[in-house]
Structure 1
Amino acid sequence: MAIIHKATLSPSKLELIADYLPNQPWFIQEGAPEIIGAYRFDDPAGEVGIETHVVAAGDRIYQVPLSYRGYELAGAEEWLIGTMDHSVLGKRYVYDACADPVYVRALATTILTGRKEAELIVDGELGPRPSTVTVQGSGKLDGGVPTLSASAPVSGSGVTIIDAGELKLKVARVLDTAADASASTAAAPELHGELTLNGQWAGLENPVELAAVVRD
């Protein structure tokens, strides 16, 4: 469960993303970015906000995972996207979440155990708010997620690779919306060789592969 506050943000999430994208090796400038939707994971400790944005720019669709913290993440200066003033929570440090160990564990857990995105609870609203992007892990592990270690993510060729010790994760940065991720995995799982996180949003006909646990 992710608790969402009705708040004023300065700068906005889109403004931070728009400044961040042109500096990434996987981004091609083709127009102003626009947020299509987002999904969240839950931090069991309730300290870190974990939100992944699906962003359109020109003809391409990108995936931008962010983590929001009330304090600086030690050793992650290179992946600090910026800070924002949150009218409820105060100053927030915004990171490329691929460098945040809380995100890495949440992503791995979701993929391995077949979970979905976190339920969104908004202050002052009755009942949960629907997520604008829905996701589903393909694994069936019943607990026992491996212990993961933090490491620097490496980006290139439209993906980011996170070597997390016992697992290696692949996060798609440029999304292939023409491929049906669920069909390819179901048709030949022994050839696919990966457990995946697939996602869908309004206007998208088939699920898209967002991330995977890579098997060496």
Structure 2
Amino acid sequence: MSGVAVIYDAELSPTKEEIAARHAGIGALHGSYRLVDPDGVVGIEVLVGPDAQGRTAQFPVTYRPAEVDPAHTLTRMDHSVLGERWVTAALGDPVAVTQLLRTIVEGDDGARRSDGVPAVLELRGTGAEQDCPVTDVALAQVSADRVRGTAALGGQVRSFELVLPQIVRELSGDADETVLRLLGRAPGSPEHPQVLAELILPG
């Protein structure tokens, strides 16, 4: 289990809906799924909703008490409980990338919410490395839907490419089984896994 994401009953400005519309073209949020920063500092959330063509889109962000990298800052947010927060594109945030890698490699699931609201998608990584610490994540190239870099996986430094497609697609029957993935299933529809992320580990 990825842990429990603490959810506050708070007023946000701008709202998550406004952020998703402005930066990802998502018209109305269906919900989100979350991972947890073990240090309890960074909020990790992937917002999910339809794009202008009605396709299911996802937009990964983090919420921080201080800016991590101006190149990946989306906006500042006023949070009525936590104060000022910096909203960051998640693929440019090493904490988010670390947890995405760990979830995929270990075959873990997503975080539960402290308020009991279910995630819009039930997550599961396709890896099978139990208790595989992911440390020393260094980001080299970051774009809207992918990041390349290096990380220590179970103590071994590896290059990686992590792709989070903006448009979610169903896993095909002939998918390359050598590629590790983060899959999402709508509650009640376990037979239709959606590809949320793909992890390529060269060599």
Query: Normalised by the shorter chain, which TM-score bucket?
Result: 0.7 to 0.9
Paired residues for 1:16-55 under 5 Å: 16-21=19-24, 33-55=27-49
Q: What is the distance in 2 between the residues matched to 1:82 and 1:152? A: 22
CA displacement 1:62-116 (0-9 Å, x = unmatched) = 221100001111xx10110001111111111000010111101100110011111
Q: Which has the higher strand share?
A: 2
For the structure 1 residues 153 and 118, does the alpha-carbon distance in structure 2 shift closer, same or farther, using more than 3 Å as the test? farther
For the structure 1 residues 21 and 132, does the alpha-carbon distance in structure 2 shift closer, same or farther, using more than 3 Å as the test? closer
Deviation at residue 12 of structure 1 after TM alignment:
0.3
2:59 alignment partner AA: V
Contact 2:98 2:137 in 1 (8 A): no
Contact 1:115 1:136 in 2 (8 A): yes
Match of 1:170 among 162, 166, 169: 162
CA displacement 1:9-44 (0-9 Å, x = unmatched) = 11101112222236xxxxxxxxx6221221010110
Corresponding residue of 2:155? none
The answer to whether 1:211 aligns with 2:197 is yes
CA displacement 1:109-162 (0-9 Å, x = unmatched) = 10011111111102xxxxx33212211101111123343322144337xx4133
The answer to whether 1:200 aligns with 2:185 is yes
Q: What is the distance in 2 between the residues matched to 1:41 and 1:71? A: 19
Corresponding residue of 2:117? 129
- Percent identical: 32
Give the alignment's TM-score, normalised by structure 1.
0.79
Gaps of 5+ in 2: 152-157
For the structure 1 residues 67 and 176, does the alpha-carbon distance in structure 2 shift closer, same or farther, using more than 3 Å as the test? closer
Paired residues for 1:122-161 under 5 Å: 122=115, 128-155=116-143, 159-161=145-147
Corresponding residue of 2:71? 78
> Does the residue aligned with 1:116 lie in a helix, a strand or coil?
coil
> Does the residue aligned with 1:18 lie in a helix, a strand or coil?
helix
Moved over 6 A (4+): none
Contact 1:7 1:88 in 2 (8 A): yes
Deviation at residue 202 of structure 1 after TM alignment:
5.6
Q: What is the distance in 2 between the residues matched to 1:175 and 1:203? A: 21
Match of 1:92 among 78, 85, 89: 85
> Does the residue aligned with 1:111 lie in a helix, a strand or coil?
helix
Gaps of 5+ in 1: 23-31, 123-127, 186-190
Q: What is the distance in 2 between the residues matched to 1:195 and 1:146? A: 15
Corresponding residue of 1:188? none
Contact 1:175 1:208 in 2 (8 A): no
Report which stretch shifted further, 134-143 or 195-204: 195-204
> Does the residue aligned with 2:22 lie in a helix, a strand or coil?
helix
Report the count of equivalent residues.
191
